[in-house]
Amino acid sequence: MSMYFEEITQETLYIALEIINSNPAYNLLENGNATRTIADMEKEFLNPQSTSAFIKLDDTYIGIIDYLLENSKDHTPWLGLLIIHSDYQGYGFGVQAFKLYENDMLNRGLICVRIGVIKDNLKAHIFWKSLGFTFFETKIWKNGIEILCYEKQLVQKHPDEARPQEP
């Protein structure tokens, strides 16, 4: 199976809406509503500031990734969203998608990435810490939501480290 990213377009926004609305608990944490609208999707994913893409497994849309290559406030890349459709959670696809993103950032010569996680999103804190992210500060986001900011130093493995050592 092959995982890759595909740009979100006006024509595919309805798929983004299905993925986002398959995660009502996240929607409640993020904006107080269990579901989102097509207008919400347009505002979030069809803007010139961020890169918004589907996470695809072969021909199946399984998630969304949204990121800034450079946040104008700190000149650092920020991963704004990595979300997997609820039907595909628990199979390691989030880790696989992050590794794909991480490799893309390394290929662009970037050495660090940051994320903001809603304080009450305990599942996400565990996930990001397991991928090597470390906390660096707390911020207040829209509607007074508390966000814990994490960062990860991206380290390219030496080719010899990626191969199993011979006995």
Mean pLDDT value of segment 49-78: 96
Specify whether the CB–CB gap between 79 and 116 falls below 8 A.
no
Residue 163, pLDDT score: 46
Specify whether the CB–CB gap between 117 and 148 falls below 8 A.
yes
Q: Where are the beta strands (DSSP E) in 15-166?
A: 51-57, 60-68, 78-84, 112-118, 134-140, 146-153
Host H or E run for residue 74 = none
Mean pLDDT value of segment 42-64: 96
Residue 164 has pLDDT above 60, yes or no: no
Residue 122 has pLDDT above 80, yes or no: yes
Mean pLDDT value of segment 51-76: 96
Percent of the chain past pLDDT 90, that is, above it, reads 86
Could you tell me the two tokens for 19?
């993925």
Specify whether the CB–CB gap between 70 and 113 falls below 8 A.
no
Residue 58 has pLDDT above 90, yes or no: yes
Residue 1, pLDDT score: 82
Specify whether the CB–CB gap between 80 and 67 falls below 8 A.
yes
Residue 161 has pLDDT above 90, yes or no: no
d(CA 117, CA 124): 7
Q: Which residue has the higher pLDDT, 156 or 131?
A: 131
Closest CA to 34 of 50, 43, 23, 44: 23
Residue 165 banded pLDDT, cuts 50, 70, 90: very low
Specify whether the CB–CB gap between 53 and 9 falls below 8 A.
no
Q: Where are the beta strands (DSSP E) in the chain?
A: 3-7, 51-57, 60-68, 78-84, 112-118, 134-140, 146-153
Specify whether the CB–CB gap between 116 and 149 falls below 8 A.
yes
Task: Give per-residue pLDDT as tens, 33-51.
Answer: 999 999 999 999 999 999 9
Residue 160 has pLDDT above 70, yes or no: no
Residue 159 has pLDDT above 90, yes or no: no
